[in-house]
Structure 1
Amino acid sequence: MLVSTTSYDTIDLPSYPWAVAKVDNNKAVVTFPELGIIKLIKFSKCMTVTNIKDMKVGKCCDGVAYSNNKLVVSYLTNSPSVKILDMSGKVWKKCDKDHHGKYLFADPRYLTISADNSVIYVSDMGKNCVIGLTFDGKVKAIYNDDQLKGPNGLTVDRSGAVFVCGRWSHNIHQLSPNLTKVKIVLDIKQGIKSPAGMAYCQDNSRLYVCKQYDDIKVYDLSLG
């Protein structure tokens, strides 16, 4: 499906950006792993950039999501973790080990939040799974599947369904809120190849899928 696009504004960046999350209708955050900062970018009603604020959050800050005035950030370090930060960048909670003292993550990448703002979903390429965490760091569910290889981008729809990119399996999986498999909604037959990032538009039921160094494809899920 082809859609028209418009570029409203551009800004010069100091390093490569990794992940982006919406804060509200005129604010977004972007992670810069090499610099260890998150930029909070504010837009005007006509979508021009009006203000940029840097938050120092530590290097290797990869994925980011927003919920209830908190930022949730994944860190790909020697001790991989997910941290919950306030909007000044101060750590509120660190999630890195289970109740047995073992590391929860191997290679945490992208994040999204459940529709009811109670669960953090994390794609872990090292463990080849999606992990669902409560905000106090407890594991609620884990999704593994032979048809999911290299989980990357995540998103949710209004009903709570979770969608995850299988980068190396060239598909998109739809999961229930408790991370049970519903179906594979898209695969290489629909032009899916090495999907890395994804976003869902609630207004038109469209899934926006991209891969690194390539274009964005749009799929209308309302068509089944």
Structure 2
Amino acid sequence: MLLCFAVEKCAVSPTGDRLYITNPSQHKLLTLARDGTLLATFRDPALGGQYGLHVTPAGQVLVCGGWSDTILQVDWEGKSKLATLATQEDGMWRPESVCYSSTTSSIIVGQWRDNNILVFRVE
């Protein structure tokens, strides 16, 4: 199956059976099977201009909402939002990249045109 869309970032599930793709022009997160079959499409107003995407070793999907200044956690199926992890109230401004560090139990966020990296401790 051939799908055509703008790809900003992509990440693979820890098991290798799912591919997550951000599509900023249509404000959505796509989940594909290994063979390219579309499994899920997730849309949320907070995903406007999304950029960064990261899948943790536990399979948690983290997505940056670049224009909405948010970091979301989406379920492993790519179908629903589990949590809003950070917003502008937390100092978020145009997040571009996100990563989870299991060593420090932290979410690390790089922002557009900003020399600051935000670090959020998580439990």
TM above 0.5, yes or no, is yes
Distance (Å, rounded) in 2 between the aligned partners of 1:218 and 1:189? 14
| Alpha-carbon displacement from aligned partner over 1:109-153 (angstroms, at most 9, x marks no partner) | 111111222111111111110111112111111110123211110
Percent identical: 26
User: Shift of residue 162 of structure 1?
Assistant: 0.4
Distance (Å, rounded) in 2 between the aligned partners of 1:96 and 1:202? 35
Distance (Å, rounded) in 2 between the aligned partners of 1:108 and 1:213? 21
Distance (Å, rounded) in 2 between the aligned partners of 1:129 and 1:122? 8
Q: Structure 2: which 5+ runs fail to align?
A: none
Stretches of 4+ aligned residues off by more than 4 angstroms: none
Aligned partners of 2:93 and 2:112 also within 8 Å: no
User: Shift of residue 181 of structure 1?
Assistant: 0.9
Distance (Å, rounded) in 2 between the aligned partners of 1:193 and 1:120? 27
Distance (Å, rounded) in 2 between the aligned partners of 1:211 and 1:154? 13
- The structure that is helix-richer by fraction is 2
**Bigger Rg, structure 1 or 2:** 1
| Aligned residue runs from structure 1 range 135-214, under 5 A | 135-179=34-78, 180-214=80-114
**Aligned-residue RMSD, C-alpha:** 1.4
Q: Structure 1: which 5+ runs fail to align?
A: 1-94, 98-102
Distance (Å, rounded) in 2 between the aligned partners of 1:124 and 1:117? 20
TM-score by length of 2: 0.91
Work out which structure has the larger RCO, using CA pairs closer than 8 Å and 6 or more positions apart in sequence: 2
Secondary structure, counterpart of 1:210 in structure 2: strand
Distance (Å, rounded) in 2 between the aligned partners of 1:135 and 1:177? 14
| Alpha-carbon displacement from aligned partner over 1:144-195 (angstroms, at most 9, x marks no partner) | 0123211110112232110100000110011110111101111011111110
Secondary structure, counterpart of 1:196 in structure 2: strand
Paired AA for residue 217 in structure 1: L
In structure 2, what is the equivalent of residue 3 of structure 1? Answer: none
**Residue correspondences, number:** 121
TM-score by length of 1: 0.51
